[in-house]
Amino acid sequence: MRAIFRRTTEPAPRALDLYDIAYLAGGPQRMMEVALVALHERGMVRVRLSRVRTVKETDAEPIDHPATHPVERAVVALCRRRSLSMLSLHGAMEVGPEVEEAERRMVSSGLLTARRLRLTRAGRQHLEAAERSGAYPAYVFEGPAALPDGPLRRNFSEVIPPPSGLGRRLIRLGEAIEDGQLDHGHDSGGGHHSCGGGHSCGGGGGGD
């Protein structure tokens, strides 16, 4: 009698990159924070008094490593025309296609739950393995508090974490009005979940 071996059909998660790990650790806000640190280190953006603006490339200061990741390109595009507060940047990133695509991939890979986008057991295991590997900077897991003491860390520390739900939408609405970016009759809120505030999506919830 031949033995029959049953194989699972659940696909193995794809290799996670820096921004996938950042999302698992702290949601869209952590993705934005990691992108700002990376772009700042390459001289592509400047963060001052909790506002972000791009730096134009010149012959005197060429940029050797341009933004290649979709999350980094989105940050550069949002800050290209004028400086943005970190709260405005977080609000725009949270409802952007880059975050939604990351969520879709990780849900399909079984790392996030489909309903509330919480870490599954597999997601927690991947996050813990990434932290143990030592391949990623500490701020990916702990946030800007893990940055070396200096101007960048102090600029991050001045930002109040955005609230969830209605409060977050009202902040974005108020900033859009203040900046003159709101079209008449247009609601800038959008109904998107929030893992932000620097908190992990994992919590202790999430089914597998």
What digits encode the pLDDT tens for the residues 137-154? 999 999 998 998 888 888
Evaluate whether residue 182 is within a structural domain.
no
Q: Number of folded domains in the chain?
A: 1
Give 63: exposed, middle or buried? Use CB within 10 Å, 0-12, 13-18, 19+: middle
Evaluate whether residue 2 is within a structural domain.
no
pLDDT at 62 over 80: no
Q: Would you state the pLDDT for residue 158?
A: 66
Evaluate whether residue 35 is within a structural domain.
yes
Evaluate whether residue 192 is within a structural domain.
no
* Chain position carrying tokens 């203040």: 178
Segment 90-113 mean pLDDT: 93
Evaluate whether residue 184 is within a structural domain.
no
| Spatial contact of 49 and 84, defined as CB atoms under 8 Å apart | no
What separation in angstroms does the CA of 16 have from each of 2, 6, 33, 89, 187?
38, 27, 18, 24, 35
Evaluate whether residue 79 is within a structural domain.
yes
Evaluate whether residue 5 is within a structural domain.
no
Q: Give per-residue pLDDT as tens, 24-35.
A: 999 999 999 999
Q: 131-158: string of b/e by CB count within 10 Å (b at 16+)?
A: beeeebeebbbebbeebeeeebeebbee
- The torsion angle over the Cα atoms of residues 185, 191, 192 and 196, rounded to 10 degrees, is 80
